[in-house]
């Protein structure tokens, strides 16, 4: 963990995020996925002030890992070690959708908490629901520009610009809420 915290000083502003999982839950895939240790900058102060408590308690299960492992399985590149498909089993369509849905199901009330993240995720969830496309946030935004009503294109472009530049932007709150309601309706249908 000290090494991760040290490496985090060289990371982009959102920092390093990682979960350590046992191989046995990867193939066959277990959902929700148990993890042995998780790190993100959201928990950095906890680790710095009480590392043993952090290591002892930062374990459990995480639905979000189904989305990450799906991306790895379908789009990942092996840098070292065994082939990806030798380590990770396929995530079922049902588990993958449940994972990405749980990330955006409260979008209508939470959109202004993290507009860029939610706007791009709504696009990629709708792309999966309509076309079974497995996309990154950036790819989801690009898909949204071509497939979501024109009146939301400026909002999506703004989210992509902020995502790629890490520069804050001013949001049209009414348009953002309307977009979230529209997208949730489309995903549910």
**pTM of the predicted structure, to 2 decimals:** 0.90
Give the residue from 103, 123, 152 where a domain finishes. Answer: 103
79, 146: one domain: no
| pLDDT, averaged across the chain | 96
State pLDDT tens for residues 37-81. 999 999 999 999 999 999 999 999 999 999 999 999 999 999 999
Over the stretch 128-139, which tens digit does the pLDDT of each residue have?
Answer: 999 999 999 999
The first and second tokens of residue 40, run together, are 């993100």
For residue 2, the enclosing domain spans: 1-103
113 with 23, same domain? no
pLDDT of residue 147: 98
- DSSP percent split of the chain into helix, strand, coil, nearest 5: 65, 5, 30
Total number of domains constituting the chain: 2
Structure token pair of residue 178: 């309307």
């Amino acid at each position: 963990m000290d090494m991760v915290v040290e490496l985090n000083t060289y990371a982009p502003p959102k920092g390093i995020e990682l979960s350590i999982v046992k191989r046995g839950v990867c193939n066959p895939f277990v959902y929700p996925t148990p993890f042995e240790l998780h790190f993100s900058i959201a928990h950095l102060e906890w680790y710095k002030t009480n590392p043993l408590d952090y290591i002892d308690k930062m374990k459990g299960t995480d639905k979000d890992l189904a989305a990450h492992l799906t991306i790895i399985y379908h789009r990942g590149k092996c840098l070292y070690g065994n082939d990806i498909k030798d380590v990770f089993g396929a995530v079922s369509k049902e588990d993958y959708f449940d994972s990405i849905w749980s990330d955006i199901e409260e979008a209508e009330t939470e959109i202004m908490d993290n507009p860029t993240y939610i706007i791009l995720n709504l696009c990629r969830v709708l792309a999966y629901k309509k076309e079974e496309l497995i996309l990154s946030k950036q790819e989801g935004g690009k898909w949204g520009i071509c497939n979501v009503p024109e009146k939301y294109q400026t909002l999506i472009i703004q989210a992509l610009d902020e995502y790629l530049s890490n520069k804050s932007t001013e949001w049209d709150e009414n348009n953002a809420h309307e977009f979230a309601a529209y997208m949730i309706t489309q995903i549910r249908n």
